[in-house]
Structure 1
Amino acid sequence: MSATTSNPAPAQGEFARFAARFAEDRVAVFGLVLLFVIVAMALLAPFISPQNPYDLGKVDIMDSRQPPGAKAGDGFDMLLGSDGMGRDLFSSILYGLRISLTVGVLSGVIAATLGLVLGLIAAYAGGRIETLIMRVVDLQLSLPSVLVALILVALLGKGIDKIILALVVVQWAYYARTVRGSALVERRKEYVEAARSLGLSHARTVFRHILPNCLAPVIVIATVQTAHAISLEATLSFLGVGLPQTEPSLGVLIANGFQYMLSGKYWISFFPGLALLLTIVAINLVGDRLRDVLNPRLEK
Protein backbone atom coordinates (compact mmCIF):
# COMPACT_ATOMS: atom_id res chain seq x y z
CA MET A 1 0.00 0.00 0.00
CA SER A 2 1.53 3.31 -1.02
CA ALA A 3 1.62 6.24 1.37
CA THR A 4 -0.18 9.41 0.42
CA THR A 5 2.17 12.38 0.08
CA SER A 6 1.54 15.98 -0.72
CA ASN A 7 2.51 17.07 -4.18
CA PRO A 8 4.39 20.42 -4.25
CA ALA A 9 4.14 20.63 -8.05
CA PRO A 10 1.01 22.87 -8.18
CA ALA A 11 2.54 25.37 -5.78
CA GLN A 12 5.80 25.36 -7.75
CA GLY A 13 3.92 25.83 -11.00
CA GLU A 14 1.95 28.75 -9.55
CA PHE A 15 5.15 30.39 -8.36
CA ALA A 16 6.77 29.85 -11.78
CA ARG A 17 3.83 31.55 -13.50
CA PHE A 18 3.97 34.40 -11.00
CA ALA A 19 7.72 34.86 -11.58
CA ALA A 20 7.26 34.73 -15.35
CA ARG A 21 4.59 37.43 -15.28
CA PHE A 22 6.69 39.57 -12.98
CA ALA A 23 9.71 39.23 -15.29
CA GLU A 24 7.72 40.54 -18.27
CA ASP A 25 8.32 44.07 -16.99
CA ARG A 26 12.04 44.82 -17.33
CA VAL A 27 11.77 47.98 -15.26
CA ALA A 28 10.32 45.98 -12.37
CA VAL A 29 13.09 43.40 -12.71
CA PHE A 30 15.63 46.22 -12.58
CA GLY A 31 13.94 47.53 -9.43
CA LEU A 32 14.03 44.06 -7.84
CA VAL A 33 17.73 43.63 -8.64
CA LEU A 34 18.49 47.12 -7.34
CA LEU A 35 16.56 46.42 -4.15
CA PHE A 36 18.41 43.13 -3.69
CA VAL A 37 21.76 44.89 -4.08
CA ILE A 38 20.78 47.61 -1.61
CA VAL A 39 19.60 45.11 1.00
CA ALA A 40 22.68 42.94 0.51
CA MET A 41 25.01 45.93 0.93
CA ALA A 42 23.18 46.97 4.09
CA LEU A 43 23.40 43.48 5.59
CA LEU A 44 27.08 43.14 4.69
CA ALA A 45 28.01 46.64 5.84
CA PRO A 46 30.39 45.49 8.63
CA PHE A 47 32.30 43.37 6.11
CA ILE A 48 32.46 45.57 2.99
CA SER A 49 32.70 49.07 4.46
CA PRO A 50 36.29 50.35 4.67
CA GLN A 51 35.60 51.94 8.06
CA ASN A 52 33.27 51.63 11.01
CA PRO A 53 32.13 55.26 10.94
CA TYR A 54 30.82 55.11 14.50
CA ASP A 55 33.96 53.71 16.11
CA LEU A 56 35.57 56.82 17.59
CA GLY A 57 38.95 55.10 17.62
CA LYS A 58 38.95 54.85 13.81
CA VAL A 59 37.59 58.29 12.93
CA ASP A 60 40.02 61.19 12.50
CA ILE A 61 38.66 64.75 12.53
CA MET A 62 41.50 65.72 10.19
CA ASP A 63 39.71 63.72 7.48
CA SER A 64 36.58 65.86 7.71
CA ARG A 65 34.91 67.22 4.57
CA GLN A 66 37.26 65.48 2.18
CA PRO A 67 36.02 65.35 -1.43
CA PRO A 68 35.17 62.08 -3.20
CA GLY A 69 38.26 60.00 -3.97
CA ALA A 70 40.44 61.57 -1.29
CA LYS A 71 42.84 59.50 0.82
CA ALA A 72 41.99 58.97 4.47
CA GLY A 73 44.56 59.08 7.23
CA ASP A 74 44.38 55.29 7.48
CA GLY A 75 45.36 54.99 3.81
CA PHE A 76 42.07 53.84 2.23
CA ASP A 77 40.32 55.73 -0.54
CA MET A 78 37.20 57.59 0.54
CA LEU A 79 35.14 56.78 -2.53
CA LEU A 80 32.37 59.27 -1.73
CA GLY A 81 34.37 61.61 0.48
CA SER A 82 33.80 62.27 4.18
CA ASP A 83 31.37 64.23 6.32
CA GLY A 84 31.99 67.05 8.78
CA MET A 85 33.15 64.64 11.51
CA GLY A 86 35.70 62.81 9.38
CA ARG A 87 33.63 59.70 8.78
CA ASP A 88 33.90 57.88 5.47
CA LEU A 89 30.67 58.69 3.65
CA PHE A 90 30.42 55.38 1.81
CA SER A 91 30.67 53.49 5.11
CA SER A 92 28.18 55.85 6.74
CA ILE A 93 25.65 55.25 3.96
CA LEU A 94 25.93 51.47 4.31
CA TYR A 95 25.33 51.66 8.05
CA GLY A 96 22.58 54.25 7.54
CA LEU A 97 20.83 51.93 5.09
CA ARG A 98 20.69 49.25 7.79
CA ILE A 99 18.89 51.60 10.16
CA SER A 100 16.50 52.98 7.53
CA LEU A 101 15.55 49.52 6.23
CA THR A 102 15.15 48.17 9.76
CA VAL A 103 12.80 51.01 10.71
CA GLY A 104 10.79 50.66 7.49
CA VAL A 105 10.43 46.87 7.59
CA LEU A 106 9.73 46.53 11.33
CA SER A 107 7.17 49.32 11.39
CA GLY A 108 5.54 47.82 8.29
CA VAL A 109 5.32 44.32 9.76
CA ILE A 110 3.84 45.52 13.05
CA ALA A 111 1.41 47.91 11.33
CA ALA A 112 0.34 45.23 8.84
CA THR A 113 -0.31 42.72 11.64
CA LEU A 114 -2.34 45.23 13.65
CA GLY A 115 -4.27 46.42 10.60
CA LEU A 116 -4.97 42.84 9.46
CA VAL A 117 -6.43 41.83 12.80
CA LEU A 118 -8.56 44.94 13.25
CA GLY A 119 -9.74 44.92 9.62
CA LEU A 120 -10.78 41.28 9.83
CA ILE A 121 -12.57 41.84 13.14
CA ALA A 122 -14.42 44.85 11.74
CA ALA A 123 -15.58 42.98 8.62
CA TYR A 124 -16.54 39.75 10.37
CA ALA A 125 -18.12 41.14 13.54
CA GLY A 126 -19.98 44.06 11.97
CA GLY A 127 -22.33 46.20 14.02
CA ARG A 128 -20.96 48.53 16.67
CA ILE A 129 -17.51 46.93 16.64
CA GLU A 130 -17.12 47.65 12.93
CA THR A 131 -18.44 51.19 13.37
CA LEU A 132 -16.02 51.91 16.21
CA ILE A 133 -12.97 50.55 14.39
CA MET A 134 -13.78 52.29 11.11
CA ARG A 135 -14.46 55.63 12.79
CA VAL A 136 -11.00 55.43 14.35
CA VAL A 137 -9.59 54.54 10.93
CA ASP A 138 -11.36 57.51 9.33
CA LEU A 139 -10.02 59.83 12.01
CA GLN A 140 -6.50 58.49 11.54
CA LEU A 141 -6.58 58.83 7.76
CA SER A 142 -8.01 62.36 7.92
CA LEU A 143 -4.86 63.64 9.63
CA PRO A 144 -1.58 64.29 7.76
CA SER A 145 0.78 61.40 8.44
CA VAL A 146 3.79 63.69 8.82
CA LEU A 147 1.99 65.78 11.43
CA VAL A 148 0.89 62.74 13.44
CA ALA A 149 4.37 61.22 13.37
CA LEU A 150 5.96 64.55 14.27
CA ILE A 151 3.71 64.98 17.32
CA LEU A 152 4.26 61.41 18.50
CA VAL A 153 8.03 61.54 18.15
CA ALA A 154 8.12 64.90 19.93
CA LEU A 155 6.16 63.35 22.82
CA LEU A 156 8.00 60.01 22.93
CA GLY A 157 11.54 61.25 22.31
CA LYS A 158 14.31 60.03 20.02
CA GLY A 159 15.23 56.40 19.40
CA ILE A 160 14.55 53.55 17.00
CA ASP A 161 11.82 52.06 19.17
CA LYS A 162 10.08 55.44 19.50
CA ILE A 163 10.07 56.18 15.78
CA ILE A 164 8.92 52.64 14.92
CA LEU A 165 5.99 53.10 17.29
CA ALA A 166 5.14 56.44 15.68
CA LEU A 167 5.26 54.92 12.19
CA VAL A 168 3.04 52.01 13.26
CA VAL A 169 0.41 54.48 14.47
CA VAL A 170 0.64 56.31 11.14
CA GLN A 171 0.41 53.19 8.93
CA TRP A 172 -1.97 50.68 10.53
CA ALA A 173 -5.16 52.38 9.33
CA TYR A 174 -4.25 51.85 5.65
CA TYR A 175 -4.05 48.10 6.20
CA ALA A 176 -7.21 47.99 8.30
CA ARG A 177 -9.34 49.75 5.68
CA THR A 178 -8.02 47.63 2.81
CA VAL A 179 -8.41 44.33 4.67
CA ARG A 180 -11.89 45.25 5.86
CA GLY A 181 -12.99 45.97 2.28
CA SER A 182 -11.60 42.65 1.00
CA ALA A 183 -12.97 40.70 3.94
CA LEU A 184 -16.47 42.11 3.44
CA VAL A 185 -16.47 40.63 -0.07
CA GLU A 186 -15.16 37.27 1.14
CA ARG A 187 -17.61 37.11 4.08
CA ARG A 188 -20.57 36.89 1.70
CA LYS A 189 -19.18 33.96 -0.28
CA GLU A 190 -20.42 30.40 -0.03
CA TYR A 191 -17.30 28.88 1.50
CA VAL A 192 -17.68 31.12 4.57
CA GLU A 193 -21.30 30.03 4.98
CA ALA A 194 -20.18 26.42 4.62
CA ALA A 195 -17.54 26.89 7.32
CA ARG A 196 -20.15 28.33 9.65
CA SER A 197 -22.60 25.52 8.96
CA LEU A 198 -19.88 22.98 9.81
CA GLY A 199 -19.56 24.56 13.25
CA LEU A 200 -16.05 25.99 12.82
CA SER A 201 -15.06 28.61 15.36
CA HIS A 202 -15.09 32.27 14.41
CA ALA A 203 -11.32 32.52 14.79
CA ARG A 204 -10.72 29.56 12.48
CA THR A 205 -13.18 30.85 9.92
CA VAL A 206 -11.54 34.26 9.88
CA PHE A 207 -7.86 33.33 9.98
CA ARG A 208 -7.97 30.00 8.15
CA HIS A 209 -10.40 30.81 5.35
CA ILE A 210 -10.98 34.57 4.96
CA LEU A 211 -7.47 35.85 5.71
CA PRO A 212 -5.61 34.00 2.88
CA ASN A 213 -7.95 35.54 0.32
CA CYS A 214 -7.21 39.06 1.63
CA LEU A 215 -3.41 38.91 1.48
CA ALA A 216 -2.88 40.00 -2.14
CA PRO A 217 -3.77 43.71 -1.63
CA VAL A 218 -1.92 43.70 1.70
CA ILE A 219 1.30 42.64 -0.03
CA VAL A 220 1.01 45.55 -2.45
CA ILE A 221 0.24 48.04 0.32
CA ALA A 222 3.16 46.69 2.35
CA THR A 223 5.66 47.65 -0.36
CA VAL A 224 4.21 51.14 -0.73
CA GLN A 225 4.03 51.71 3.02
CA THR A 226 7.58 50.45 3.56
CA ALA A 227 8.88 53.05 1.12
CA HIS A 228 6.65 55.66 2.76
CA ALA A 229 7.94 54.73 6.22
CA ILE A 230 11.57 55.04 5.10
CA SER A 231 10.95 58.46 3.57
CA LEU A 232 8.92 59.61 6.58
CA GLU A 233 11.65 58.52 9.00
CA ALA A 234 14.21 60.38 6.88
CA THR A 235 12.02 63.48 7.00
CA LEU A 236 11.71 63.34 10.78
CA SER A 237 15.43 62.72 11.24
CA PHE A 238 16.24 65.59 8.89
CA LEU A 239 14.07 67.85 11.03
CA GLY A 240 16.03 66.76 14.09
CA VAL A 241 13.23 64.88 15.89
CA GLY A 242 13.85 61.38 14.54
CA LEU A 243 16.88 59.24 15.23
CA PRO A 244 19.87 60.48 17.28
CA GLN A 245 23.42 60.77 15.94
CA THR A 246 24.32 57.49 17.64
CA GLU A 247 21.74 55.63 15.49
CA PRO A 248 22.32 57.20 12.09
CA SER A 249 19.86 56.74 9.26
CA LEU A 250 19.97 58.24 5.79
CA GLY A 251 17.89 61.17 7.03
CA VAL A 252 20.46 61.93 9.75
CA LEU A 253 23.27 61.78 7.18
CA ILE A 254 21.45 64.20 4.88
CA ALA A 255 20.86 66.58 7.77
CA ASN A 256 24.54 66.42 8.76
CA GLY A 257 25.61 67.75 5.37
CA PHE A 258 22.91 70.34 4.89
CA GLN A 259 24.88 73.04 6.71
CA TYR A 260 27.79 72.58 4.28
CA MET A 261 25.77 72.84 1.06
CA LEU A 262 26.33 76.58 0.57
CA SER A 263 30.09 76.16 1.04
CA GLY A 264 30.30 73.72 -1.88
CA LYS A 265 30.52 70.48 0.14
CA TYR A 266 27.58 69.04 -1.75
CA TRP A 267 28.60 65.38 -1.45
CA ILE A 268 27.89 65.16 2.27
CA SER A 269 24.14 65.42 1.64
CA PHE A 270 23.99 64.43 -2.02
CA PHE A 271 25.14 60.82 -1.79
CA PRO A 272 22.96 59.87 1.23
CA GLY A 273 20.05 61.55 -0.57
CA LEU A 274 20.80 59.55 -3.71
CA ALA A 275 20.89 56.32 -1.68
CA LEU A 276 17.52 57.21 -0.14
CA LEU A 277 16.05 57.99 -3.56
CA LEU A 278 17.28 54.72 -5.12
CA THR A 279 15.91 52.69 -2.19
CA ILE A 280 12.45 54.24 -2.41
CA VAL A 281 12.36 53.99 -6.22
CA ALA A 282 13.38 50.31 -6.13
CA ILE A 283 10.69 49.44 -3.57
CA ASN A 284 8.02 51.33 -5.52
CA LEU A 285 8.97 49.67 -8.82
CA VAL A 286 8.60 46.24 -7.24
CA GLY A 287 5.33 47.26 -5.57
CA ASP A 288 3.84 48.58 -8.80
CA ARG A 289 4.58 45.33 -10.61
CA LEU A 290 3.24 43.23 -7.74
CA ARG A 291 0.01 45.21 -7.96
CA ASP A 292 -0.35 44.41 -11.66
CA VAL A 293 0.54 40.73 -11.27
CA LEU A 294 -1.70 40.10 -8.27
CA ASN A 295 -4.60 42.00 -9.85
CA PRO A 296 -4.44 41.50 -13.65
CA ARG A 297 -7.46 43.80 -14.14
CA LEU A 298 -5.22 46.78 -13.29
CA GLU A 299 -2.65 45.85 -15.91
CA LYS A 300 -2.94 47.48 -19.30
Structure 2
Amino acid sequence: MESITGSKNNEKKSLFNLGVREKTILSILAFGFFFIAILIWGSFIKADNLYVDLPNKFQTPSLSHLFGTDWVGRDMLTRTIKGLSLSMKIGLLATLTSTIIAIILGIIGPTFGRRVDAVVTWFIDLVLSVPHTLVVILISIAMGGGLKGIVVGVAATHWTSLTRVIRVEVMQIMESDYTKISKNFGKSNWYIAKEHILPHVIPQIIVNAVLIFPHAILHEASVTFLGFGLPPHEPAIGVILSESMKYLTSGYWWLAFFPGLSLILVSMMVDKIGKNIEQLINPKTAYK
Protein backbone atom coordinates (compact mmCIF):
# COMPACT_ATOMS: atom_id res chain seq x y z
CA MET A 1 0.00 0.00 0.00
CA GLU A 2 2.81 2.40 0.86
CA SER A 3 4.48 1.81 -2.49
CA ILE A 4 1.21 2.49 -4.34
CA THR A 5 0.65 5.68 -2.32
CA GLY A 6 4.22 6.75 -2.92
CA SER A 7 3.93 6.23 -6.68
CA LYS A 8 0.71 8.26 -6.79
CA ASN A 9 2.37 11.11 -4.89
CA ASN A 10 5.31 11.02 -7.28
CA GLU A 11 2.93 11.20 -10.25
CA LYS A 12 1.19 14.20 -8.72
CA LYS A 13 4.51 15.92 -8.08
CA SER A 14 5.68 15.22 -11.60
CA LEU A 15 2.53 16.83 -12.98
CA PHE A 16 3.16 20.04 -11.06
CA ASN A 17 6.96 20.09 -11.30
CA LEU A 18 7.19 20.62 -15.03
CA GLY A 19 10.56 20.99 -16.71
CA VAL A 20 11.67 23.67 -19.11
CA ARG A 21 10.53 21.69 -22.14
CA GLU A 22 7.00 21.20 -20.80
CA LYS A 23 6.71 24.83 -19.69
CA THR A 24 7.92 26.03 -23.07
CA ILE A 25 5.42 23.87 -24.93
CA LEU A 26 2.56 25.01 -22.68
CA SER A 27 3.52 28.68 -22.99
CA ILE A 28 3.79 28.40 -26.79
CA LEU A 29 0.39 26.69 -26.98
CA ALA A 30 -1.19 29.29 -24.69
CA PHE A 31 0.23 32.23 -26.61
CA GLY A 32 -0.56 30.58 -29.95
CA PHE A 33 -4.20 30.17 -28.94
CA PHE A 34 -4.34 33.73 -27.60
CA PHE A 35 -2.56 35.13 -30.64
CA ILE A 36 -4.82 33.38 -33.18
CA ALA A 37 -7.94 34.26 -31.17
CA ILE A 38 -7.01 37.96 -31.08
CA LEU A 39 -6.19 38.04 -34.80
CA ILE A 40 -9.43 36.30 -35.80
CA TRP A 41 -11.54 38.35 -33.40
CA GLY A 42 -9.91 41.59 -34.53
CA SER A 43 -10.39 40.71 -38.21
CA PHE A 44 -14.14 40.35 -37.70
CA ILE A 45 -14.43 43.75 -36.01
CA LYS A 46 -15.51 46.28 -38.63
CA ALA A 47 -16.07 50.03 -38.46
CA ASP A 48 -19.76 49.42 -37.79
CA ASN A 49 -18.88 47.63 -34.53
CA LEU A 50 -17.15 50.78 -33.26
CA TYR A 51 -20.31 52.87 -33.44
CA VAL A 52 -20.81 56.05 -31.43
CA ASP A 53 -23.28 55.72 -28.53
CA LEU A 54 -23.28 59.06 -26.71
CA PRO A 55 -25.87 58.11 -24.02
CA ASN A 56 -23.47 55.40 -22.80
CA LYS A 57 -20.25 57.42 -22.78
CA PHE A 58 -17.79 56.99 -19.89
CA GLN A 59 -19.45 53.83 -18.59
CA THR A 60 -17.35 52.10 -15.94
CA PRO A 61 -16.33 48.46 -16.49
CA SER A 62 -19.33 46.17 -16.01
CA LEU A 63 -20.83 42.95 -17.33
CA SER A 64 -22.30 44.76 -20.32
CA HIS A 65 -19.00 46.56 -21.06
CA LEU A 66 -16.09 44.62 -19.54
CA PHE A 67 -13.54 47.35 -20.32
CA GLY A 68 -16.02 50.20 -20.01
CA THR A 69 -16.81 52.76 -22.74
CA ASP A 70 -14.94 55.81 -24.00
CA TRP A 71 -15.89 59.50 -24.41
CA VAL A 72 -18.30 58.77 -27.28
CA GLY A 73 -19.75 55.54 -25.91
CA ARG A 74 -17.64 53.05 -27.89
CA ASP A 75 -16.98 49.71 -26.22
CA MET A 76 -13.37 49.67 -24.99
CA LEU A 77 -13.06 45.88 -25.17
CA THR A 78 -13.87 45.97 -28.88
CA ARG A 79 -11.43 48.83 -29.48
CA THR A 80 -8.70 47.10 -27.47
CA ILE A 81 -9.05 43.81 -29.37
CA LYS A 82 -9.00 45.64 -32.72
CA GLY A 83 -5.98 47.69 -31.72
CA LEU A 84 -4.13 44.69 -30.31
CA SER A 85 -4.67 42.67 -33.49
CA LEU A 86 -3.38 45.58 -35.57
CA SER A 87 -0.27 45.92 -33.37
CA MET A 88 0.37 42.18 -33.64
CA LYS A 89 0.17 42.27 -37.44
CA ILE A 90 2.60 45.18 -37.56
CA GLY A 91 4.90 43.41 -35.09
CA LEU A 92 4.88 40.22 -37.15
CA LEU A 93 5.65 42.03 -40.40
CA ALA A 94 8.40 44.13 -38.82
CA THR A 95 9.92 41.10 -37.08
CA LEU A 96 9.97 39.07 -40.29
CA THR A 97 11.61 41.92 -42.21
CA SER A 98 14.19 42.57 -39.46
CA THR A 99 15.05 38.87 -39.28
CA ILE A 100 15.66 38.66 -43.04
CA ILE A 101 17.93 41.72 -42.91
CA ALA A 102 19.84 40.27 -39.95
CA ILE A 103 20.34 36.89 -41.64
CA ILE A 104 21.68 38.45 -44.84
CA LEU A 105 24.06 40.91 -43.15
CA GLY A 106 25.11 38.52 -40.39
CA ILE A 107 26.14 35.81 -42.86
CA ILE A 108 27.70 37.82 -45.70
CA GLY A 109 29.89 39.87 -43.33
CA PRO A 110 32.32 37.17 -42.10
CA THR A 111 31.79 34.98 -45.20
CA PHE A 112 32.77 37.43 -47.94
CA GLY A 113 35.95 38.89 -46.52
CA ARG A 114 37.19 41.59 -44.17
CA ARG A 115 36.05 44.55 -46.25
CA VAL A 116 32.46 43.37 -46.40
CA ASP A 117 32.56 42.51 -42.69
CA ALA A 118 33.93 45.98 -41.88
CA VAL A 119 31.07 47.61 -43.81
CA VAL A 120 28.48 45.47 -41.99
CA THR A 121 30.05 46.27 -38.60
CA TRP A 122 30.12 49.99 -39.42
CA PHE A 123 26.47 49.87 -40.45
CA ILE A 124 25.49 48.13 -37.20
CA ASP A 125 27.34 50.73 -35.13
CA LEU A 126 25.72 53.52 -37.14
CA VAL A 127 22.19 52.26 -36.44
CA LEU A 128 22.96 51.60 -32.76
CA SER A 129 24.43 55.08 -32.29
CA VAL A 130 20.99 56.69 -32.67
CA PRO A 131 18.03 55.89 -30.34
CA HIS A 132 15.55 53.50 -31.93
CA THR A 133 12.52 55.67 -31.25
CA LEU A 134 14.11 58.68 -32.96
CA VAL A 135 15.05 56.65 -36.04
CA VAL A 136 11.56 55.15 -36.27
CA ILE A 137 10.02 58.64 -36.04
CA LEU A 138 12.32 60.05 -38.74
CA ILE A 139 11.68 57.13 -41.10
CA SER A 140 7.94 57.28 -40.48
CA ILE A 141 7.85 61.01 -41.22
CA ALA A 142 9.99 60.60 -44.34
CA MET A 143 7.59 57.94 -45.67
CA GLY A 144 4.49 59.95 -44.87
CA GLY A 145 3.52 58.02 -41.74
CA GLY A 146 0.77 55.44 -41.75
CA LEU A 147 1.14 51.67 -41.79
CA LYS A 148 3.94 51.63 -44.37
CA GLY A 149 6.04 54.21 -42.56
CA ILE A 150 5.76 52.58 -39.13
CA VAL A 151 6.51 49.06 -40.44
CA VAL A 152 9.59 50.21 -42.36
CA GLY A 153 10.76 52.29 -39.40
CA VAL A 154 10.41 49.48 -36.85
CA ALA A 155 11.90 46.88 -39.21
CA ALA A 156 14.90 49.09 -40.04
CA THR A 157 15.89 49.48 -36.38
CA HIS A 158 15.46 46.02 -34.85
CA TRP A 159 17.88 43.87 -36.85
CA THR A 160 21.13 44.94 -35.19
CA SER A 161 21.15 42.64 -32.13
CA LEU A 162 20.32 39.55 -34.18
CA THR A 163 22.93 40.50 -36.79
CA ARG A 164 25.62 40.65 -34.11
CA VAL A 165 24.62 37.24 -32.75
CA ILE A 166 24.63 35.65 -36.21
CA ARG A 167 27.93 37.32 -37.11
CA VAL A 168 29.68 35.88 -34.03
CA GLU A 169 28.29 32.41 -34.75
CA VAL A 170 29.38 32.61 -38.37
CA MET A 171 32.90 33.70 -37.41
CA GLN A 172 33.22 30.62 -35.21
CA ILE A 173 31.89 28.34 -37.95
CA MET A 174 34.30 29.82 -40.50
CA GLU A 175 37.22 28.73 -38.28
CA SER A 176 35.96 25.14 -38.02
CA ASP A 177 37.70 22.26 -39.79
CA TYR A 178 34.80 21.25 -42.06
CA THR A 179 34.49 24.80 -43.38
CA LYS A 180 38.18 24.96 -44.16
CA ILE A 181 37.96 21.56 -45.89
CA SER A 182 35.08 22.84 -48.04
CA LYS A 183 37.22 25.82 -49.08
CA ASN A 184 40.11 23.52 -49.94
CA PHE A 185 37.78 21.51 -52.16
CA GLY A 186 36.92 24.70 -54.04
CA LYS A 187 33.44 25.28 -52.65
CA SER A 188 32.10 28.83 -53.09
CA ASN A 189 31.16 31.22 -50.31
CA TRP A 190 27.49 30.84 -51.25
CA TYR A 191 27.77 27.06 -50.87
CA ILE A 192 29.44 27.38 -47.47
CA ALA A 193 26.83 29.90 -46.30
CA LYS A 194 23.93 27.71 -47.44
CA GLU A 195 25.21 24.27 -46.42
CA HIS A 196 27.40 24.91 -43.37
CA ILE A 197 26.46 28.23 -41.80
CA LEU A 198 22.70 28.65 -42.12
CA PRO A 199 21.72 25.29 -40.51
CA HIS A 200 23.89 26.06 -37.47
CA VAL A 201 22.46 29.55 -36.83
CA ILE A 202 18.77 28.63 -37.19
CA PRO A 203 18.27 28.13 -33.40
CA GLN A 204 19.74 31.57 -32.69
CA ILE A 205 17.57 33.09 -35.41
CA ILE A 206 14.39 31.59 -33.92
CA VAL A 207 15.14 32.75 -30.38
CA ASN A 208 16.12 36.29 -31.32
CA ALA A 209 13.24 36.66 -33.80
CA VAL A 210 10.81 35.77 -31.00
CA LEU A 211 12.50 38.32 -28.73
CA ILE A 212 12.32 41.02 -31.43
CA PHE A 213 8.52 40.79 -31.61
CA PRO A 214 7.67 42.42 -28.23
CA HIS A 215 10.16 45.22 -28.89
CA ALA A 216 8.57 45.82 -32.29
CA ILE A 217 5.00 46.15 -31.01
CA LEU A 218 6.09 48.35 -28.08
CA HIS A 219 8.03 50.68 -30.39
CA GLU A 220 5.07 50.84 -32.77
CA ALA A 221 2.73 51.71 -29.89
CA SER A 222 5.11 54.33 -28.45
CA VAL A 223 5.70 56.08 -31.78
CA THR A 224 1.97 56.05 -32.56
CA PHE A 225 1.32 57.39 -29.05
CA LEU A 226 3.61 60.34 -29.81
CA GLY A 227 1.65 61.03 -33.01
CA PHE A 228 4.23 59.93 -35.59
CA GLY A 229 2.88 56.49 -36.41
CA LEU A 230 -0.56 55.29 -37.39
CA PRO A 231 -3.19 57.97 -38.11
CA PRO A 232 -5.76 58.88 -35.41
CA HIS A 233 -8.65 57.15 -37.18
CA GLU A 234 -6.91 53.76 -36.83
CA PRO A 235 -7.98 51.86 -33.67
CA ALA A 236 -4.36 51.16 -32.66
CA ILE A 237 -3.28 50.76 -29.04
CA GLY A 238 -0.99 53.79 -29.34
CA VAL A 239 -3.89 55.90 -30.61
CA ILE A 240 -6.17 54.68 -27.80
CA LEU A 241 -3.56 55.47 -25.13
CA SER A 242 -2.85 58.89 -26.62
CA GLU A 243 -6.54 59.81 -26.65
CA SER A 244 -7.09 58.53 -23.10
CA MET A 245 -4.50 60.94 -21.65
CA LYS A 246 -7.03 63.76 -21.92
CA TYR A 247 -9.42 62.03 -19.52
CA LEU A 248 -7.18 60.36 -16.91
CA THR A 249 -7.24 63.38 -14.61
CA SER A 250 -11.04 63.19 -14.63
CA GLY A 251 -10.94 59.68 -13.15
CA TYR A 252 -11.62 57.65 -16.29
CA TRP A 253 -8.75 55.26 -15.58
CA TRP A 254 -10.10 52.33 -17.61
CA LEU A 255 -9.54 54.16 -20.91
CA ALA A 256 -5.77 53.61 -20.57
CA PHE A 257 -5.53 50.75 -18.06
CA PHE A 258 -6.96 47.86 -20.07
CA PRO A 259 -5.37 48.68 -23.46
CA GLY A 260 -1.99 49.27 -21.82
CA LEU A 261 -2.24 46.13 -19.71
CA SER A 262 -3.14 43.98 -22.72
CA LEU A 263 -0.13 45.28 -24.66
CA ILE A 264 2.21 44.61 -21.72
CA LEU A 265 0.84 41.09 -21.20
CA VAL A 266 1.39 40.18 -24.85
CA SER A 267 4.95 41.51 -24.72
CA MET A 268 5.75 39.66 -21.48
CA MET A 269 4.26 36.42 -22.80
CA VAL A 270 6.33 36.47 -25.99
CA ASP A 271 9.47 37.46 -24.07
CA LYS A 272 8.96 34.50 -21.72
CA ILE A 273 8.60 32.12 -24.66
CA GLY A 274 11.82 33.43 -26.19
CA LYS A 275 13.74 32.93 -22.95
CA ASN A 276 12.36 29.40 -22.54
CA ILE A 277 13.38 28.50 -26.09
CA GLU A 278 16.83 29.89 -25.34
CA GLN A 279 17.04 27.58 -22.33
CA LEU A 280 16.06 24.63 -24.51
CA ILE A 281 18.89 25.16 -26.99
CA ASN A 282 21.42 25.82 -24.23
CA PRO A 283 23.24 22.52 -23.49
CA LYS A 284 23.58 23.45 -19.80
CA THR A 285 19.81 23.80 -19.27
CA ALA A 286 18.27 21.72 -22.05
CA TYR A 287 17.69 18.62 -19.94
CA LYS A 288 16.47 20.19 -16.70
TM-score greater than 0.5 by the shorter chain: yes
Unpaired runs of 5+ residues, structure 2, are 1-17
Bigger Cα displacement from structure 2, 113-122 vs 28-37: 28-37
Q: Which residue of structure 2 aligns with residue 17 of structure 1?
A: none
Note if contact 1:115-1:173 (Cα within 8 Å) is conserved in structure 2: yes
Change (3 A) 1:22 1:107: same
For residues 56 and 31 of structure 1, the distance between their equivalents in structure 2, rounded to whole angstroms, comes to 32
What is the match of residue 170 of structure 2? 183
> For 1:41, which of 18, 37, 41 is the aligned residue?
37
User: Which AA in structure 2 matches 1:285?
Assistant: K
Tell me the equivalent position of 2:180.
193
% same residue? 28
Kindly state the Cα deviation for residue 31 of structure 1 after the two structures are TM-superposed. Answer: 4.1
Partner of 1:14: none
TM-superposition CA deviations, 1:113-141 (whole Å, max 9, x none): 01111111101012211111111111211
Work out the number of aligned pairs and report it: 270
Runs of 4+ in 1 over 6 A off after TM superposition: none
Paired AA for residue 60 in structure 1: D
Distance 1:99 1:253, change over 3 A: same
Structure 2 counterpart of 1:36, which letter? G
2: CA distance, partners of 1:173 / 1:33: 29
Query: Which residue of 2 is the match for residue 157 of structure 1?
Result: 144
Q: Alignment RMSD, CA only?
A: 2.3
Tell me how far 1:41 sits from its aligned partner.
Answer: 2.4
Matched, 1:23 2:10: no
Query: Measured at CA, do residues 185 and 65 of structure 1 come closer, stay the same or move farther in structure 2, by a change above 3 Å?
Result: same
Would you say the 8 A contact 1:53–1:59 is kept in 2?
no
Q: In 2, are the aligned partners of 1:53 and 1:88 still within 8 Å (CA)?
A: no
Structural mapping, 1:264-283, within 5 Å: 264-283=251-270
Structure 2 distance, partners of 1:212, 1:246, is: 44
Residues 195, 179 of structure 1: CA spacing in aligned structure 2 closer, same or farther, 3 A cutoff?
same
Distance 1:239 1:29 in 2: 37
- Could you tell me the TM-score, scaled by structure 2's length? 0.85
Which of 32, 48, 60 is the aligned partner of 2:28? 32
- 8 A Cα contact 1:122 1:180, kept in partner: yes
Post-superposition CA distance 1:72-114 (Å, at most 9, x none):
xxxxx22211122322111111111111111111111111101
Change in Cα spacing, 1:215 to 1:46, as seen in structure 2 (3 Å) is closer
Deviation track 1:251-273 (CA, whole Å, cap 9, x = no partner) reads: 22222212111111111110001
1:220 aligns with 2:207: yes
1:127 matched to 2:118: no
Q: Which one of 254, 279, 288 corresponds to residue 275 of structure 2? A: 288
| Cα distance change, pair 44–57 in 1 and its aligned pair in 2 (3 A) | closer
Deviations 1:29-84 (A, max 9, x none): 6643542243122122158x7xx4632784323332221126xxxxxx22211122
Q: 1:148 aligns with which of 118, 131, 135?
A: 135
Q: Where does the alignment leave 5 or more consecutive residues of structure 1 unmatched?
A: 1-19, 71-76
Contact persistence 2:50–2:74 (CA under 8 A): no
